């Protein structure tokens, strides 16, 4: 089992899921609900229904499901994973997850922290920053050179 928000899907997500798949026979990915993402990270740009659909379409993923609202550990009762793969940058406490697994009758579940993916654009915030920088640069060029304006998104 692997979990995440998977907002603005990027190569780091794919690498994480490829590595997670190597840890077992089947990879079930729990995609965070919009409300959970807001609580722990940031408000997602892509709605949860789209994120779970995109993650489910990835080659290493056997099944993608939406997480539960409220108790994020409740999904353990349903999936009952042998291994839980954590991304290098996920804030989850490994020991707390092991304790929660034991409490739910999963004492043999392993929690594995995967290494960092050293690829370009390996983070949603990096992508957003690069797009914002690109827009700012383009607007400066537009003022200086009189180049064609780009369309701005509607509010």
Greater pLDDT, 93 or 118: 93
Q: Confidence band (pLDDT; 50, 70, 90) for 123?
A: low
- The answer as to CATH 3.40.50.620 being correct for domain 2-113 is yes
Domains of the chain, residue spans = 2-113, 123-155
Tokens representing 140?
């400066």
Residue 31: how many CB atoms within 10 A of its CB? 27
Where b means 16+ CB within 10 Å and e means fewer, 48-67 reads beebbebbeebebbeebbbb
pTM equals 0.80
Summarize pLDDT for 41-87 with one digit per residue, the tens.
778 989 999 999 999 999 999 999 999 988 999 999 999 999 999 99
Beta carbons within 8 Å of 12's beta carbon, 6+ residues apart: 117, 119, 121, 122, 123
- Cα 102 to its chain centre, rounded Å, is 25
Which 3 state secondary structure label does DSSP give 104?
coil
């Amino acid at each position: 089992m692997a979990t995440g928000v998977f907002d603005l899907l990027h190569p780091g997500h794919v690498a994480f899921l490829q590595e997670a798949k190597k840890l077992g026979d089947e990879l079930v990915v729990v995609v965070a609900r919009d409300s959970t993402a807001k609580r722990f990270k940031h408000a997602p740009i892509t709605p949860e229904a789209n994120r779970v659909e995109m993650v489910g379409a990835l080659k290493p993923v056997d099944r993608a499901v939406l997480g539960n609202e409220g108790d994020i550990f409740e999904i353990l009762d349903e999936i009952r994973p042998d291994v839980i793969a954590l991304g290098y940058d996920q804030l989850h406490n490994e020991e707390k997850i092991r304790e929660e697994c034991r409490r739910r009758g999963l004492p043999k579940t392993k929690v594995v922290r995967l290494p960092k993916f050293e690829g370009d654009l390996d983070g949603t915030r990096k992508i957003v920053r690069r797009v914002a920088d690109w827009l700012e640069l383009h607007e400066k060029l537009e003022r200086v050179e009189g180049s064609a304006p780009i369309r701005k998104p509607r509010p």
